[in-house]
Chains A and B, each alone.
Chain A
Amino acid sequence: MTGSEKTRETIVEPTIFELGRPGRCGFRLPELDVPALDPAEVLGAGNVRQAGPDIPDLSEPEAVRHFTRLAELNHHVDRGFYPLGSCTMKYNPKVNEDAAALPGFTRLHPEAEERCCQGSLSLMYHLSRHLCEISGMDAVTLEPPAGASGELTGMLIVRAYHTARGNPRSKVIVPDSAHGTNPASLTLAGYDAVEIVSDDEGRIDTEELRKVVDEETAAIMITNPNTLGVFETHIEEIIEIVHGVGGLVYMDGANLNALLGIVRPGDIGFDVMHFNLHKTFSAPHGGGGPGSGPVGVKAALAPYLPYPVISRDDARPEGRKYHFDYDRPESIGKVHGVYGNFLVAVKAYAYILSLGPAGLRRVAENALINANYLQAALREHYDLPHGDYCQHEFVLSASRQKEHGVKALDIAKRLLDFGVHAPTIYFPLIVKEALMIEPTETESRESLDHFAEVMKEIARESESDPAVVQGAPTATPVSRLDEARAAKDLDVTWKRRNA
């Protein structure tokens, strides 16, 4: 075996630090048409970089091929099914990308005079209004750049509301089925998390809730439908209990896809919620961002929204109608350097307009039909701890397969061999060996049938040949990776000594 073959065998794709040669460049600057300067002279020798940065020099084709080869190692929605529960990995319409790439949007500087930004301001104003209509809330901010940022914003609004009434209060209730961001966000907002256990059906236990609410309860954070894909049937009672002690009710909008045109959280008593434009409203997830986490509130909470707020004033001259209102004395402050992920808002706005009211409702309907269809196909082959009709997602348990030594993790990895992405695993925490499946409305029936067949095949393998499942994946660019080793021998940045 030659050296290069050996290298190929151990490295799937070299890092950029192992590519290129000094002096290459994929980029040409315009000719310098002003006098050149000596940095040391202008900035002072002590302020000037003496060496490096040691960044490799690549030509454009080398760089493009490197990233294209990397791209090919990824699973993605355009390639196939991605039933990652709670993440709503729906198809991302191409026209939205075109809209967000318009130079009128991408080249607009945030410090441009308002009369030069009327298109963007109008778009954000109307998107906020549409989100209000969809959710039943009275006001929306688009400033939070992600869902978790929206949660923090919402919790800070809760805090400002109570503080204005004399006592910020000290605790926020979260069910044990909640996303991890919920307790992390409320902690960041200065609250203590009070966790309550769910009932046998995976819903909030109203008796447990009554035990913990009191005058120190600032809010409850509820994901509805919850992370088991179950609608909180007693939601009116829950809201009444919390409102009864003067607390507020927060909705984590991660699962809003199930409610579009069917239930408006604001109508049923939620006071504040966040949206995930990258889930419900089809903006792509970008391999982990950028997202967008707008927050909607009822009128009583509107004074506390982050500043600035976009206002429309028809009395102003044409071309200056939409403007930023910074005069918000009760605002919680800013939560992003500018005004959130504007280009993500463009995509969500385009999505709403392309669907219209009937289309939005059909999104929710088909998401529910797809989830229930898949649940029905799999319930005999895997344990289904909560067996009602589900909403947009459902949670299976691999406990039956575990008897043969096959864990949820093994099933997830085996799925990769069949060219589909794994569900979310080991979440929610209240289900053992959880496999959380959210097909979304953009999957065809054939796609669901194929996934069901693969899942059944893996269930059979788990009994007949568990080693195959335990040894998966084998058809992927790398086989199972050693996570423990990554944490133990921490290497998070390339060092020349690696070479």
Chain B
Amino acid sequence: MPYIPNTDKDRMEMLRTVGASSFDDLLTNIPESLRLRGDLDVPGPLSEPELMMHMERLAGLNKVPGEVTSFLGGGVYDHAVPAAVHHITGLPHFYTAYTPYQAEVSQGTLQAIYEFQSLIAELTGMEVANASLYDGATAVAEAALMALGIQRKRRKICVSESVNPAARAVLRTYLAAWGIELVEIPLEGGVTDVGAAAGAGADAAAVIVQQPNFFGLLEPVEAISAVAEETGALLVASVDPISLGVIRPPAEYGAAIVVGEGQSLGSPVAYGGPLLGFMATNAKHARRMPGRIIGTTTDTEGRRGYVMTLQTREQHIRREKATSNICTNQGLVALAATAYLSILGGTGLRELASHVLAKSHYAASELAGVPGVKLRFDGSFFREFVIELPVESSVVKEALTDIGIWPGIKCGCYYPEMDNCLLVSVTEKHSRRDIDSLVSGLAAVLATGEA
């Protein structure tokens, strides 16, 4: 048994030491009638080479970039990850440790998370940040619960329809049990209809927007912020961290709670998990935040050190009165983000964001030149944009998939009226040739009537 050291001889001697004559003696508390008779019906055991052969076969059944050119995004993005990032997260000192309950032997994890919090605060312009949440979608839901906790008399949440559909789905799940009213604000030209927001915002604990939104478009955040302020709702902004290399930080337009999906900071797409939720807010709301928070302190000799702090908010102390039920978060993914941002630096992040901007605009204008294809929306965008096709998007996507191109996400899955639309995502990894192959592939598919 490779992972279980003690042999049968060890076991017999150990059992004798505790006064048992056989293993079954240890089960005296478990009534016989409750015990499983016979073996579990699971496969194995496999040796290491057998196991890896099986796993490689399964992995080989998936198609991934390398074999295909992918323009899929929608909240999970394929940015380049510097090799150093996974070498850092691959250090067993980090990945085989647990939640830093014993701070004196967990300073590495604690300081890295403190640095993560600091980086999130710096990116968003907010004053404080937590140690991470599960993903961007649950972070939106947690932000809504936090807003309800701050605005105790309000029992309504408003969310723009341009917020990632998965995040809205999770939000719906979280709010349903409490009987909280969830109002979705309709769109105008792909962005939040500010007039409708003004109507919906009354009595809401929070108005939730995403910047850039699900379609990659920049929201009229200034106007929405004014609406939120007028109605007394807190503005919750869900933001993309890479975009913050060029886009104005949410603190500047009055966001009270900022959340987002941080997978794009140094983690692979990994079939959508693990992802990385983050949350930032202002100092006055720090004690209402969910999740772990790391703070600095000193040891008995005056050295700087780090500990989990404000634990009286948390479930292991407050139990049913906690700000959230979250315990473990996404520590290692937060470490990846920290390493990633350290390696890029502010200069690198600004440059990266401007490349993404340039490439996505190049792709949009080239695609809009394909006969029958046009851009669905006029607004400014970052990384992603929606193209409208003369036919149903599923037909085009199938045909392009056959020639190794994944052109984007079918918008009709989430917005039924957008059946003939694709959401195309472009990162710095796409070369001009990749983009040109999408353009010519799409033109060919539409021209030959395969679609």
Contact with B along A102-115 (1 / 0, CB 8 A): 11111111111101
- B73 to chain A: which residues have CB within 8 Å? 111
Cross-chain contact B304 with A11 (CB below 8 angstroms): yes
Residue of B nearest to A92 (CB): B96
Docked complex: B149-196 residues within 8 A CB-CB of A? 164, 166-167, 169-170, 172-174, 176-179
User: 6 smallest A-B Cβ distances: which pairs?
Assistant: A104-B59, A338-B272, A356-B44, A337-B137, A119-B61, A286-B332
Say yes or no: is B136 at the interface (Cβ < 8 Å to chain A).
Answer: yes
List 13 contacting pairs A-B, 8 Å CB cutoff, sorted by A.
Answer: A15-B114, A29-B352, A42-B361, A109-B406, A119-B61, A149-B326, A180-B319, A181-B325, A278-B328, A285-B328, A441-B4, A476-B105, A489-B297
- Docked CA distance A339–B58 (Å): 18
Contact of A287 among B98, B222, B314 (CB under 8 A): B98
Q: Which of A145, A159, A422, A445 has the most CB of B within 10 A?
A: A145
Contact of A336 among B137, B270, B283, B344 (CB under 8 A): B137
Contact of B18 among A64, A287, A389 (CB under 8 A): A389
Docked complex: A28-66 residues within 8 A CB-CB of B? 29-30, 32-37, 39, 42-44, 46-50, 52-58, 60, 63-64, 66
Residue of B nearest to A429 (CB): B319
Interface residues on B, range: 35 or more
Residue of B nearest to A494 (CB): B118
CB contact under 8 A between A354 and B271, given known A285-B99, A287-B331, A486-B296: no
CB contact under 8 A between A123 and B58, given known A52-B346, A288-B131, A370-B6: yes
Say yes or no: is B417 at the interface (Cβ < 8 Å to chain A).
Answer: no
Residue of A nearest to B89 (CB): A286
Cross-chain contact A116 with B5 (CB below 8 angstroms): no
CB contact under 8 A between A482 and B298, given known A102-B55, A359-B1, A444-B5: yes
Closest CB in chain A relative to B159 CB, distance in Å: 14
Contact with B along A171-190 (1 / 0, CB 8 A): 00000000111011111111
- Docked CA distance A263–B40 (Å): 10
- A385 to chain B: which residues have CB within 8 Å? none
- B295 to chain A: which residues have CB within 8 Å? 486-487, 490-492
Closest CB in chain A relative to B15 CB, distance in Å: 6
Say yes or no: is A357 at the interface (Cβ < 8 Å to chain B).
Answer: yes
Contact of A288 among B4, B331, B409 (CB under 8 A): B331
Docked complex: B246-266 residues within 8 A CB-CB of A? 246-249, 261
Cross-chain contact A109 with B303 (CB below 8 angstroms): no
Contact of B325 among A10, A188, A235, A487 (CB under 8 A): A188
Cross-chain contact A53 with B315 (CB below 8 angstroms): no
Say yes or no: is A434 at the interface (Cβ < 8 Å to chain B).
Answer: no
Closest CB in chain A relative to B122 CB, distance in Å: 5
Say yes or no: is A291 at the interface (Cβ < 8 Å to chain B).
Answer: yes
- A3 to chain B: which residues have CB within 8 Å? none
- Docked CA distance A480–B105 (Å): 10
Task: Choose the segment among A241-249, A342-350, A396-404, A456-464 that binds chain B (4+ C-beta atoms closer than 8 Å).
Answer: A342-350
Closest CB in chain A relative to B335 CB, distance in Å: 7
Say yes or no: is B358 at the interface (Cβ < 8 Å to chain A).
Answer: yes
Closest CB in chain A relative to B357 CB, distance in Å: 6
Residue of B nearest to A379 (CB): B18
- A366 to chain B: which residues have CB within 8 Å? 4, 6, 11
- Docked CA distance A24–B347 (Å): 8
Cross-chain contact B271 with A72 (CB below 8 angstroms): no
- B122 to chain A: which residues have CB within 8 Å? 52-55, 493
Task: Choose the segment among B26-34, B200-208, B441-449 that binds chain A (4+ C-beta atoms closer than 8 Å).
Answer: B26-34
Say yes or no: is A300 at the interface (Cβ < 8 Å to chain B).
Answer: no
Cross-chain contact B344 with A493 (CB below 8 angstroms): no
- B98 to chain A: which residues have CB within 8 Å? 82, 84, 87, 89, 285, 287-288
- B305 to chain A: which residues have CB within 8 Å? 12, 478, 481
- Docked CA distance A477–B29 (Å): 43
- Docked CA distance A376–B352 (Å): 60
Contact of A145 among B23, B31, B274 (CB under 8 A): B274
Cross-chain contact B320 with A74 (CB below 8 angstroms): no
Contact of A344 among B10, B44, B273, B315 (CB under 8 A): B273
Contact of B48 among A35, A95, A151, A289 (CB under 8 A): A95
Residue of A nearest to B77 (CB): A109
Cross-chain contact A342 with B272 (CB below 8 angstroms): yes
- Docked CA distance A110–B274 (Å): 12
Cross-chain contact B286 with A95 (CB below 8 angstroms): no
Residue of B nearest to A388 (CB): B29
- B298 to chain A: which residues have CB within 8 Å? 481-482, 485
- B315 to chain A: which residues have CB within 8 Å? 148, 180-181, 183-184
- A233 to chain B: which residues have CB within 8 Å? 29-31
- A493 to chain B: which residues have CB within 8 Å? 114, 117-118, 121-122, 127-129
- Docked CA distance A76–B302 (Å): 26
Cross-chain contact B327 with A287 (CB below 8 angstroms): no
Task: Choose the segment among B64-72, B225-233, B367-375 that binds chain A (4+ C-beta atoms closer than 8 Å).
Answer: B64-72
